[in-house]
Structure 1
């Protein structure tokens, strides 16, 4: 596998993940991609300002602000004033797990994976490969997604 193939595989996996996500309860439309990109940045860089998140992710600051607002509403992140510059807010992951976060984490990818594969003939093999990748590449996420549901 080369870098281009890995990139394309990653994009395919992202699309399967997006397809598996439950619809927002508030009826808002639009995919979760920007929200997940922002959340993954916040996990890796706690106590970041919106502008810093925008610079790292390449997303427009307005899109980052919208994603942070939705993540805050869902209970995924909290914000607090920057003690060095009270005009800015710092974003970090929430300490607890909200009902919405629990719902998203409990949602399985089986149906979306089978749809992407065109059936369930190779689903178990692919799920085992994903479990192995998660165990080796996402060590901070604890037990495998196959055991506890997707993170």
Structure 2
């Protein structure tokens, strides 16, 4: 995943947690931090950090919960931000070449195709 403009995020936490939170928000628009934590089994503090990163990236919007003004409702952003577009268009080629120790295009394509087959079988 490409680094955000200006280097590392000021919000700590793993990219994996951010992706888990983003996936949950996409599947459950209008959700809360507590609901995401309950569904994912992750600590609320980690979800709060992930939500802050997603908000800063423009991937989500937050609005006060009319039923409880202390909470916010989290939804995917209506339009992808520049940061979201950057992440979506970034390939794994450089990371894969480094992991394989080669930049042979044929080998990279072969492994990329194998990963696509694996992803198709792992994703419900």
How far apart are residue 134 of structure 1 and its match? 5.0
3-state SS of the aligned residue for 1:48? coil
In 1, the alpha carbon distance for the partners of 2:87 and 2:43 equals: 25
Q: Of the candidates 33, 42, 47, which is equivalent to residue 16 of structure 2?
A: 33
Change (3 A) 1:94 1:138: farther
**How far apart are the structure 2 equivalents of 1:83 and 1:30?**
29
User: Could you list the runs of 5+ residues in structure 1 that have no partner in the other structure?
Assistant: 1-20, 140-151
> Distance in 2 between the 1:25 and 1:106 partners?
15
TM-score by structure 2 length?
A: 0.80
Q: Within 5 Å, which residues of 2 pair with 1:44-59?
A: 44-59=27-42
**Residues 1:110 and 2:93 are matched in the alignment:** yes
Q: Does 1:129 align with 2:109?
A: no
* Alpha-carbon distance change, 108 to 39 in structure 1, aligned in 2, over 3 angstroms: same
Report deviation, 1:138: 6.0
Matches within 5 A, 1:79-94: 79-94=62-77
Count of residue pairs the alignment pairs up = 119
Gap runs ≥5 in structure 2: none
2:13, 2:46 within 8 Å by CA — same for their partners in 1?
no
Structure-1-length-normalised TM-score: 0.68
